[in-house]
């Protein structure tokens, strides 16, 4: 079974980015045989603090690190807060980037997407996020940016996106992530 971990960079109820995560969950279940998704929540983590990390972090940190370490790929959907990913998402990535030399992000395939109620879909937050992921050793999926614009107009009452363009773009990103993960996987000796 292939495992994709999904993370929203927004912790608010009714978040468009969390709606993208919910859409990805449904889309993968419907269109990808043998692929399972798990959602991890940055809000469950404390503020990063090195002394706490040295003392083994917290249960929530260890749980998230283990989830990501076991995944074939991580897909992150971020809002733009003044042109960057929100602090709560950066905080989660800082936890995942440690312990130094043992980061669960190191060598991990990661795909990035974004959403906003505005016309640019928070695409301006993606480059900075990609840079942070690169610092942590993640292998960021090369793909034309996927950004869900005008999200308020597209969101259904069920809290997911169902319009064909959004679904096709998200499906393309997942396909690219899975292809990259397969390429990056260490080959198994016959
Ligand atoms: C925003 N928002 C925003 N939108 C955008 O397109 N570019 C931006 O630079 C910003 N900056 C920004 C800063 C802060 C502090 C907040 C709270 C909001 C608006 C943002 O896109 C909107 O609130 C989204 O709904 C946030 O994503 P979620 O929570 O719906 O996933």
For 15-72, the pLDDT digits (tens) are 999 999 999 999 999 999 999 999 999 999 999 999 999 998 799 999 999 999 999 9
The pTM of this model reads 0.96
Please tell me the distance between residue 79's alpha carbon and the centre of ligand 1 in angstroms. 6
Please tell me the distance between residue 113's alpha carbon and the centre of ligand 1 in angstroms. 14
DSSP conformational letter for 91: H
| Predicted pLDDT at 186 | 60
| Predicted pLDDT at 57 | 78
Atom 15 of ligand 1, residue of closest alpha carbon: 81
Atom 13 of ligand 1, residue of closest alpha carbon: 81
Torsion of CA 102, 105, 109, 113, to 10 degrees: 180
Tens of pLDDT, residues 115-168: 999 999 999 999 999 999 999 999 999 999 999 999 999 999 999 999 999 999
The residue whose CB lies within 8 Å of the most ligand 1 atoms, and thus the one to mutate among 10, 79, 86, is 79
Atom 20 of ligand 1, residue of closest alpha carbon: 116
Please tell me the distance between residue 14's alpha carbon and the centre of ligand 1 in angstroms. 13
Please tell me the distance between residue 114's alpha carbon and the centre of ligand 1 in angstroms. 11
| Predicted pLDDT at 190 | 38
> Tokens 């859409």 — which residue?
23
* Interface pTM, i.e. ipTM: 0.98
| Predicted pLDDT at 187 | 53
| Predicted pLDDT at 24 | 98
pLDDT surpassing 90 at residue 189: no
Atom 21 of ligand 1, residue of closest alpha carbon: 116
pLDDT, mean of residues 80-101: 97
Q: Which residues' Cβ are closer than 6 Å to ligand 1?
A: 10, 12, 15-17, 79-83, 116-118, 120, 122
All domains of the chain in start order, with CATH: 2-183 (3.40.50.360)
Tens of pLDDT, residues 114-127: 999 999 999 999 99
- Looking at the chain, how many residues does it have? 190
Please tell me the distance between residue 29's alpha carbon and the centre of ligand 1 in angstroms. 29
Report the greatest alpha carbon distance in the chain. 52
Q: What is the band of 184 on the pLDDT scale with cuts at 50, 70, 90? A: confident
Atom 22 of ligand 1, residue of closest alpha carbon: 116
Please tell me the distance between residue 45's alpha carbon and the centre of ligand 1 in angstroms. 21
Tens of pLDDT, residues 66-78: 999 999 999 999 9
Strands 147-148 and 73-78: unpaired
DSSP conformational letter for 13: T
Q: What is the SS3 assignment for 36?
A: strand
């Amino acid at each position: 079974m292939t495992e994709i971990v999904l993370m929203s960079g927004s912790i608010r109820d009714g978040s468009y980015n969390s709606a993208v995560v919910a859409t990805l969950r449904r889309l993968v279940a419907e269109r990808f045989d043998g692929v399972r998704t798990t959602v991890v929540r940055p809000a469950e983590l404390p503020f990063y603090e090195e002394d706490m990390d040295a003392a083994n972090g917290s249960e929530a940190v260890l749980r998230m690190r283990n989830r990501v370490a076991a995944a074939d790929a991580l897909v992150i959907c971020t809002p733009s807060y003044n042109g960057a990913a929100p602090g709560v998402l950066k905080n989660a990535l800082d936890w995942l980037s440690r312990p130094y030399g043992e980061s669960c992000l190191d060598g991990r395939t990661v795909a990035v997407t974004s959403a906003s109620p505005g016309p640019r879909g928070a695409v301006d937050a993606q480059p900075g996020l990609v840079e942070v992921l690169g610092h942590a050793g993640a292998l960021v999926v090369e793909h034309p940016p996927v950004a869900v614009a005008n999200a308020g107009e597209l969101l259904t009452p069920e809290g997911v996106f169902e319009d064909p363009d959004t679904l096709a773009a998200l499906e393309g990103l997942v396909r690219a992530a899975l292809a990259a993960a397969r390429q990056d996987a260490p080959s198994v000796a016959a």
